[in-house]
Amino acid sequence: MTVTLDESRQYCQQLAKQTGKNFYYSFLTLPAEMRRDMCVLYAFMRITDDIGDDESIDLPERRQNLKVWKQSLESTLAGESAEHVIFPALLDIIQRRQIPVVYLYDVIEGVSQDLEPHRFESWHELEQYCYHVAGAVGLCCIHIWGFKGDDVHTSAVACGTAFQLTNILRDIAEDADRGRVYLPQEDLRQFGYTEDDLKNGVNDDRFRALMQYEVARARQYYEQAEELFASLSKEGQPILRAMIRIYGGLLDQIEARNYDVYSSRVSLSKMKKWSIVARSFVGM
């Protein structure tokens, strides 16, 4: 496939704008070049996720498609002709931003793990999953945003974990309908809440206690993510601030609704997101 770098970048930007939702608003806090590069990174993550999530395709074919996607990435890194329109732009940011490619492979592995519904016995197991689908993304992001020092790995991974756990709590009802239960089994047992309760949308004291526990855990990871500010470049700080406020705002909404994530989807209005973006330039 013959695609110019500009064409590749334009495709990524359009994809991010159309499907980015919460992410794209935060991109607007970045200088033009960083924003462009974040659109490229987002496009890779989005396509990888879509390959795994497309349930209109049989599981064996999705598994094979992910394998081919990984092989296409390997071929691009080896200097061979790009097999997808995003790869010229992706190769450019990998080289220019010095993004360790292991993080991209970790994301593909995370999506592969999620092809079939499975259960997480403990928080440790769920935390490992969160690393692959979100923490590794955070590690890619800081290479675009700019950072100093070597002690950023823990806080960057914590940031991704906080966002992913927020998504899990927001999407409990939707995931249960698909036969997916991400909350640790040990937590369900601790509060006497069952998978059948999840599937049936039982919103009682047990569920609220469980949700309160998980929200508190997510906030601990947000606190760790705050430590990243000290290492980020001045240009990279507004986007982190915006993302923490947008995803943290979803947690606030969950709490304000007394943990009712069954009756309707928790979200922030466009006006609220624009307000967060504007305030993110001001400072903490």
Q: What are phi and psi of 232, to 5 degrees?
A: -80, 155
Residue 22 confidence class, pLDDT cut points 50, 70, 90? low
CA atoms of 284 and 280, how far apart (whole Å):
8
CA atoms of 232 and 235, how far apart (whole Å):
8
**Which one of 3.40.50.300, 1.10.10.10, 1.20.1560.10, 1.10.600.10 gives the CATH number of domain 118-266?**
1.10.600.10
Give pTM, 2 decimals.
0.90
Q: What local confidence, expressed as pLDDT, does residue 206 receive?
A: 98
CATH topology for the 1-116 domain: Farnesyl Diphosphate Synthase (1.10.600)
pLDDT at 172 over 70: yes
Residue 158 confidence class, pLDDT cut points 50, 70, 90? very high
Where do the domains of the chain lie? 1-116, 118-266
Burial of 205 (0-12, 13-18, 19+ CB in 10 A): exposed
* 1-116 and 118-266 share one fold: yes
pLDDT at 268 over 80: no
Tell me the percentage of the chain whose pLDDT exceeds 90: 77
CA atoms of 244 and 276, how far apart (whole Å):
10
